[in-house]
Amino acid sequence: MIGYVTLGTNHFERAAQFYDNLLGVIGAKRYMESDQFIAWAVSPTQPSLGIIKPYDGNAATVGNGVMVALIVDSPAKVDALYNKAIELGGKDEGPAGPRGGGGFYAGYFRDLDGNKLNVFCMGG
């Protein structure tokens, strides 16, 4: 159902490098790019994640309660992506592991701009 999500940044090049390295762990690559926007996806026909300089020219801010969830197909990939985020300077918001029953396995982190993300799989 989600087509894409954009995250505002005040440090475009730093954010681009963070997401190049982070999303490369799951095979995502840049597929759209301008001087204001970059989007990554594993396929142009799959949902994507992008960074953007706010259109209104004001500073990007973190939305309270907003989180982007990235789905992968195994707990090992959750661990790899979560660990890579922390290695790249992301902040821990809850280490990778089982959550709430039902096979939900997830790790939570904030990127370099403070945006909250989660990586998860079902059946882990």
Q: Are 3 and 47 in contact (CB under 8 A)?
A: yes
**Residue 80: exposed, middle, or buried by beta-carbon count in 10 A (0-12, 13-18, 19+)?**
middle
**Residue 55: exposed, middle, or buried by beta-carbon count in 10 A (0-12, 13-18, 19+)?**
exposed
CATH 3.30.1300.10 fits 4-54+66-122, yes or no: no
Please report the pLDDT score of residue 120 as a whole number. Answer: 95
Radius of gyration of the chain, Cα coordinates, nearest whole angstrom? 14
What's the pLDDT band for 124 if we cut at 50, 70, 90?
A: low
Please report the pLDDT score of residue 40 as a whole number. Answer: 97
pLDDT in tens, 92-112: 999 999 998 789 999 999 999
Q: Are 96 and 49 in contact (CB under 8 A)?
A: no
Average pLDDT over residues 61-90: 94
Please report the pLDDT score of residue 63 as a whole number. Answer: 85
Please report the pLDDT score of residue 46 as a whole number. Answer: 92
